[in-house]
């Protein structure tokens, strides 16, 4: 697959670059450039990112970072069986528990929420850092929702991290997941409160909490281009109004399977 000339491979994380030093230099450079493309494309064009990940995997399947990248690319394109295989292999290579939450979320993606819940209660969870434990909580709550246990999902999300006034990288996603669960339980006023809290903590726009909040408040989004056409006396298109729900970006994972983000955000179901 073609790679732009300006991509050198040195854009990748230093720890990954260190792993690649076990390869011949030319091969290491080729693998690094493919990994850069995976990182750059995984959000905007996950299928293309998956293609670059497969190239890197073909070149260096014995490098843990490559297996991990292939796992995330598979995960982003809903290839949960492949993702599970790659994540498990990467975990064996590294000996780290860091991938435990996303492995559990793959089990959800494969329709095995009971397995995800089993993993949520495993000793490995205690070895995760705070961010990892929050991710595991999100996955567990999603698994409860998969099983139709909405009240249990809400209770699972109730935690010191949720109650904290501090803002961390996972705060907006946790608040969003809690708001969405409350809304699913028809606890609309509480849901509105937590969507508002999610907006306050979501400085980078990783969730669509502002759209969800606007939708609850009955705010209607109008297409600016069609509005100009109408003012000019032209007939606007059929899609005259765009609701917050229509504007919401579609998640690549099945309903509820959004506990981890691979950098992606939490989304509506957890």
Task: Please tell me the predicted confidence (pLDDT) of residue 244.
Answer: 36
Give the pLDDT score at 228. 58
**pLDDT computed for residue 129 by the predictor:** 95
Question: What pLDDT score does 229 carry?
Answer: 56
* pLDDT number for residue 102: 97
Specify the pLDDT at position 219: 79
Question: Is the Cβ–Cβ distance between 256 and 148 less than 8 Å?
Answer: no
With b meaning 16 or more CB within 10 Å and e meaning fewer, what string describes 238-261? eeeeeebeeeeeebbbeebbbbbb
So what's the pLDDT on residue 218? 84
Calpha distance 163→161 (Å, rounded): 6
pLDDT given at position 242: 36
pLDDT along the chain (270 residues), means of 10: 90 90 94 96 96 96 96 97 97 94 97 97 96 97 97 96 92 96 96 95 91 87 56 47 35 36 38
CB atoms near residue 151 (< 10 Å)? 10
Which residue, chain included where needed, has tokens 């390869």?
23
The token duo for 160 is 């010191």
Largest CA distance in the chain: 67
pLDDT of 133: 96
């Amino acid at each position: 697959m073609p790679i732009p000339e300006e991509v050198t491979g040195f854009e990748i994380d230093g720890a990954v670059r260190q792993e690649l030093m076990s390869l011949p230099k030319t091969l290491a450079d080729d693998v690094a450039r493919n990994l850069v493309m995976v990182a750059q494309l995984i959000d905007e064009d996950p299928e293309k990112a998956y293609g670059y990940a497969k190239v890197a995997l073909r070149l260096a399947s014995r490098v843990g970072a490559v297996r991990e990248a292939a796992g995330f690319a598979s995960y982003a394109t809903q290839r949960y069986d492949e993702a599970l295989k790659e994540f498990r292999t990467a975990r064996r290579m590294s000996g780290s528990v860091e991938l435990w939450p996303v492995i559990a979320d793959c089990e959800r993606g494969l329709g095995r929420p009971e397995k995800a819940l089993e993993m949520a209660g495993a000793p490995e969870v205690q070895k995760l850092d705070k961010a990892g434990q929050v991710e595991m909580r999100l996955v567990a709550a999603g698994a409860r929702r998969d099983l139709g246990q909405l009240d249990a999902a809400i209770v699972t999300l109730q935690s010191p991290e949720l109650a904290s006034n501090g803002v961390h990288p996972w705060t907006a996603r946790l608040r969003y997941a809690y708001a969405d669960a409350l809304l699913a339980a028809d606890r609309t006023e509480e849901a509105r409160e937590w969507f508002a809290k999610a907006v306050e903590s979501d400085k980078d726009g990783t969730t669509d909490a502002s759209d969800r909040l606007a939708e609850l408040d009955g705010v209607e989004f109008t297409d600016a281009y069609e509005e100009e056409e109408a003012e000019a006396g032209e007939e606007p298109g059929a899609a005259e109004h765009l609701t917050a729900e229509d504007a919401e970006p579609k998640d690549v994972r099945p309903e509820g399977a959004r506990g981890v983000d691979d950098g992606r955000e939490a989304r509506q179901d957890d």
